[in-house]
Structures are given as structure tokens and as C-alpha cells.
Amino acid sequence: MVKKIDIAGIQLDNYTTREMLIRIDRCIAEKSFTTIGEVNMKTLELVASDEEVKQALELFDYTVIADEGILKAASADTLQRRHEIEEHDFFYELFKRLDRNHKTVFVLGDSQAAVDEAEEFLKELFDRLEIVGKGVFDETNGTDEGVVNEINIATPEVVLSFLPSPVQEKFFFRNKDKISTILWYGIGSGKFLAKRTGIIGKIRKMLDVRRLTRIIDSYEKRDV
């Protein structure tokens, strides 16, 4: 199985869930600041036109492929990886570990409703996690400094960000060196709460794959 996938010049990790957990467990045990970013189709489409998003993806210690269509577009599709991505195995297995060890968490989102919904979701599944803070960042009227201060005052072991792309990547890029925590996990907006279903969802996914494939082809032709 290919462990790294090159998409338009971006190296994405393609480790199995087990392989990723081993790496993250080691980082947490060593208490070294570790950053994880989930990457979906929308994020990759932005890379071609937004240099800051591209640089942010390159800064993550680990990337998690969040859409099986990325594997298809990169011709790296396998049954195991497709299943892990569709079922969000890495997130659930990682948070089972964090829950078991009573880790403290700060939840970040782009609205109060989104943050409250994420908090409710976490409490239902991982009742031993301690949510020590919640922050709202709206790029139209918010400031980085205020949110960063909220995070650092709460001193969480984990920051779980539900900010949408490209807000998430840009916020991370600007503030990576200012945030005090052990683990940053950028998971994206509404991932578990708004799954695409039915025939409309399948059509949209097909179009996403085709669009990403064209981006890859365009990038490869540019370098020829």
C-alpha cells in the first residue's frame, strides 16, 4: 500500500488507521506538539489557487484523507483504506484512546451553534473527555488573538477544530506557533453531522472526483 500520495504537489499521508495511531500515540506519550489536518476534496481544490492553504497543508505533521474520492483520483484506491475513510476510523479510534485517558479538549468552530453541536456529539460518544473550553472564530468579525488567548488560558491537551476550509487552514497557518497544546486536530466543518446520502450525494462525489482528477492532470502537464 502506498504510504504517501502526491496530489498536485502536496504530499498526503496514506497510512492505515493502525499505523497512524501508533505514530500519534508516540507523540502524545512524548508530549510533543503534534498537528493533524483532515483533507477533503474542497481543500485540495483550493490548493491550486490559494498558496496559504497549500503552505498550511505542508505544515501539518500528519494529514488524514477524509474523502475516499481522493484515493480514486490518485489511483491509490484499496478496499481497506476506502472503508477506513468512509467510517472515519482514525478519528473514532484516536478519540477512544483520548477518552480512555481522560484528556482535556478545546472545541473550536465558526459559530456558537456549530461549537455546541460538536460538544454534544463528543459528550454522547466520549463521556470521559473533559471539554475545558469552546471558541468561536468567524473570519468576518473575529480576531485570531482572542481565540488563541482563549485556547491558551484553557490549557487543553487537545484542540479539536471544526472550522471549514479554507478558514481552518489559514487560521492554523497564522497561529501554529502561538497555540499551547499537545495535539491540534483540524477535522473540518460538519463532518459527522452532514453526511452526503442518496443518489444526489453519489453524483456530487463523482463530480468531485472528476474535478480533482482534472486538477492533478493539469498540474502534471505543467511540470512536463
Quickly count: other Cβ atoms within 10 Å of residue 161's Cβ: 27
* Residue listed under C-alpha cell 442518496: 198
What is the grid cell recorded at 209?
472526483
Distance separating alpha carbons of residues 202 and 72, to the nearest angstrom: 14
pLDDT digits (tens), the chain, 224 positions: 789 998 878 899 999 999 999 999 999 999 989 999 999 888 888 888 899 999 999 999 999 999 888 888 888 889 999 999 988 999 999 999 999 999 999 999 999 999 999 999 899 899 999 999 999 998 776 689 999 999 999 999 999 999 999 999 999 999 999 999 999 999 987 555 444 334 334 434 444 445 555 555 565 556 55
DSSP letters of 2-44?
A: -SEEEETTEEEE---HHHHHHHHHHHHHHT--EEEEEE-HHHH
- How many CB atoms lie under 10 A from the CB of residue 50? 16
